[in-house]
């Protein structure tokens, strides 16, 4: 059972949820493995795979996190079948239908830019070197639907501390795999591929920020961003880059895919804010997957206590 730590953000709380989803049928180093860097890492608690690395394999050594909300998680079927992952298609059911054959081994994540320990990190070494935490977080999509998801992940601050950002680093830029053979959605110019995203360094180091590697205590399904993705629960879902292959520490604010595509609609920060409407719909209300009635949208998705200080004195209508 989860250890539930209630805080002001732990509130029990537009696109209409499809009937099929509503009915629902109630149904990660030993960071060292740095190529060419020869960096040594001390002994760490092992975590990772109990069996094969495929989706559904149980993850060992997962600890419950006090950052979890006390809310009931959305059903596994909804979380794994109702997704935004344009690399596999623009329909909500396209990722589950098209992502199954993507190969997630071998997989490396290149870390470069303003870091003391750049290199190519193997995903399985990442699993072995870091404690995995289960955190039940709210997920709020810009289209006004939401879920509660039991993520398993590595606190991103832990990973970044091991690659040692230099004093010049102010942002973290992320890049998704580019492989149209495996990702059929990349054969269409829906976005400027590969998908890219970014965070300010202090956002990336916030305790809530995860490198997600699993769901429900098991290895991440392909359609949800295997083998490693970003989880930032106070931001809209498009700020959740999946299938990461590169992280670059930069001095300048990096480009992001949706901001490049529609800058009027999608800002760099993407903080959940009911006071700032999307140009084509209101953000004041949301519908939780599996529920019929809408609920009020919470500023920062209910995580204001943990993150509001990051944006003190900022004009949140300008920096949306």
Q: Where are the domains of the chain?
A: 47-311
pLDDT digits (tens, 9 = 90+) for 69-112: 999 999 999 999 999 999 999 999 999 999 999 999 999 999 99
172 φ, ψ (degrees, to nearest 5): -120, 120
Q: What local confidence, expressed as pLDDT, does residue 71 receive? A: 95
Task: List the helix and strand counts (H, then E) for the chain.
Answer: 8, 15
Q: What local confidence, expressed as pLDDT, does residue 38 receive? A: 32
Q: What local confidence, expressed as pLDDT, does residue 207 receive? A: 98
Instruction: Look at the block and give the residue holding tokens 């006071």.
Output: 275
Q: What local confidence, expressed as pLDDT, does residue 6 receive? A: 42
Strand residues in 156-231 grouped as ranges (E)? 171-176, 196-200, 210-215, 218-219, 229-231
> What is the CATH code for 47-311?
3.90.420.10
* pTM of structure: 0.85
Q: Is 302 left (phi over 0), alpha (psi -120 to 50) or beta?
A: left
Q: What local confidence, expressed as pLDDT, does residue 8 receive? A: 39
Low-confidence ranges of the chain (pLDDT < 70): 1-55
DSSP conformation letters of 91-103: STTHHHHH-TT--
Q: What local confidence, expressed as pLDDT, does residue 56 receive? A: 78
């Amino acid at each position: 059972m989860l250890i539930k730590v209630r805080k002001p953000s732990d509130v029990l709380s537009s696109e209409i949820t499809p009937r099929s989803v509503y009915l629902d049928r109630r149904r990660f180093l030993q960071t060292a493995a740095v190529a060419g860097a020869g960096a040594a890492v001390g002994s760490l608690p092992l975590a990772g795979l109990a069996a094969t690395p495929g989706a559904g394999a149980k993850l060992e050594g997962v600890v419950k996190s006090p950052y979890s909300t006390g809310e009931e998680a959305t059903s596994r079927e909804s979380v794994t079948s109702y997704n935004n992952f344009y690399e596999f298609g623009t329909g909500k059911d396209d990722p589950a239908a098209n992502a199954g054959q993507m190969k997630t081994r071998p997989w490396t994540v290149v870390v470069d830019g303003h870091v003391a320990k750049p290199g190519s990190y193997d995903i399985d070494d990442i699993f072995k070197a870091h404690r995995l935490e289960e955190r039940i977080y709210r997920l709020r999509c810009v289209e006004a639907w939401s879920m509660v998801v039991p993520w398993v992940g590595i606190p991103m601050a832990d990973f970044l501390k091991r690659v040692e950002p230099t004093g010049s680093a102010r942002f973290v830029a992320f890049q998704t795999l580019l492989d149209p053979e495996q990702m059929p959605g990349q054969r269409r110019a829906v976005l400027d591929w590969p998908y890219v995203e970014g965070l300010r360094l202090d956002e990336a180091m916030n305790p809530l920020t995860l490198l997600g590697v699993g769901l429900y205590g098991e290895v991440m399904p392909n359609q949800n961003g295997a083998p490693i993705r970003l989880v930032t629960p106070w931001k809209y879902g498009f700020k959740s880059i999946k299938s990461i292959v590169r992280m670059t520490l930069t001095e300048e604010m990096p480009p992001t895919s949706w901001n490049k595509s529609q800058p009027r609609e999608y800002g760099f920060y993407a903080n959940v804010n009911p006071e700032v409407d999307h140009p084509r719909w209101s953000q004041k209300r949301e519908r939780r997957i599996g529920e019929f009635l809408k609920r009020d949208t919470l500023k920062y998705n209910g995580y204001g206590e943990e993150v509001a200080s990051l944006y003190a004195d900022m004009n949140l209508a300008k920096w949306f």
